[in-house]
Amino acid sequence: MHEQTDPPDEPSPGLVSTAIQAITQHIRSEGLAPGDPLPSEAAMTRQLNVSRTVVREAFRSLSAMRLIDMSAGRRATVAKLDTGAMSMVIEHGITTQQISVQQVYDVRRTIEMRTVALAALRRTNAEAAAIAQSARLMRESCKNPETVMEHDIAFHEAIAAASHNPVFSLIVTAFSGVTRRTWVIGWRTRSSDEDQLKMIKGHEDIADAILKGDPRLAAEHMAEHFDKSVKALIDAGIA
């Protein structure tokens, strides 16, 4: 066994990593819930016997991952589940060409085939209405691509929310950033108005299936939707 929880110093991981672990450990051991306050930087400084610089970098790192909320004058608090860090990881993968847009779409398809089925089974009436509303807004604003896109994204996020599994919401939302960067490309390849309206119709079909509570039908429409979207992206030359 080569463990070194040593008294003198910790060379390898660095003081900041240690501080990050100490903070997350604190959240765990104290059973803190979102909104609960964390120790002040000064307190952490004393407890860990390091400089405020180190403690601050630790807090800031957790804040960047959206695990805690920071704001001037107030102590940091435990954060609600947020997609910030995940989005950044995905975006990083895309911009450094370690993952392709098509790969993201394959994952989205996999996940959303499930969220849409769960939504059909578990959606509340309000959720079904929100989903249908997004689809309707897509049609109404079909002259303005940017607006259609935002409603499209809201549509998919609403379905994820209606799955009543926040992990699905987390992942779907994390992908929204990628969608924002590629959506318009796909839209442009649907040259004719007819194609564009057909795509919007697809969303309405999904919303209807969810409203009817038919998971199989909802999944079918979702699959169709993704297949067409991916095809549009491939036609546009997205690797």
Point out which residues bind DNA (CB under 7 A): 14-16, 40-43, 50-54, 56, 59-60, 70-76
Q: What are the structure tokens assigned to 55, written together?
A: 């403690």
Q: Of 56 and 201, which CB lies nearer to a second copy in the complex structure?
A: 56
Q: Of 15 and 219, which CB lies nearer to DNA in the complex structure?
A: 15
- Helices 101-122 and 166-189: angle between axes, nearest 10 degrees: 120
Which SS3 state, helix, strand or coil, does residue 97 take? coil
Beta strands in the chain (DSSP E): 68-71, 74-78
| CA-wise closest residue to 172 among 191, 147, 155, 187 | 155
Least distance in angstroms from the C-beta of 204 to a second copy: 25
Residue 6 and residue 93: Cα distance in Å, rounded?
37
Query: 40 is in the binding site of which of DNA, a second copy, none (Cβ under 5 to 8 A by kind)?
Result: DNA
Least distance in angstroms from the C-beta of 176 to a second copy: 14
Binding-site residue total for a second copy (CB under 8 A)? 50
**Which residues have a Cβ under 8 Å from the Cβ of 101 and sit 6 or more positions away?**
94, 178, 182, 233, 238, 239
Which SS3 state, helix, strand or coil, does residue 141 take? coil
42 binds a second copy (CB under 8 A): no
Stretch that binds a second copy, among 38-46, 89-97, 189-197, 210-218 (CB under 8 A): 89-97
Looking at 76, 90, 130, 158, which residue binds a second copy (CB under 8 A)? 90
Instruction: List residues near a second copy by CB under 8 A.
Output: 16, 20, 24, 27-28, 32-34, 53, 56-57, 60-67, 78-82, 85-86, 88-93, 95-99, 103-104, 106-107, 110-111, 114, 165-168, 170-171
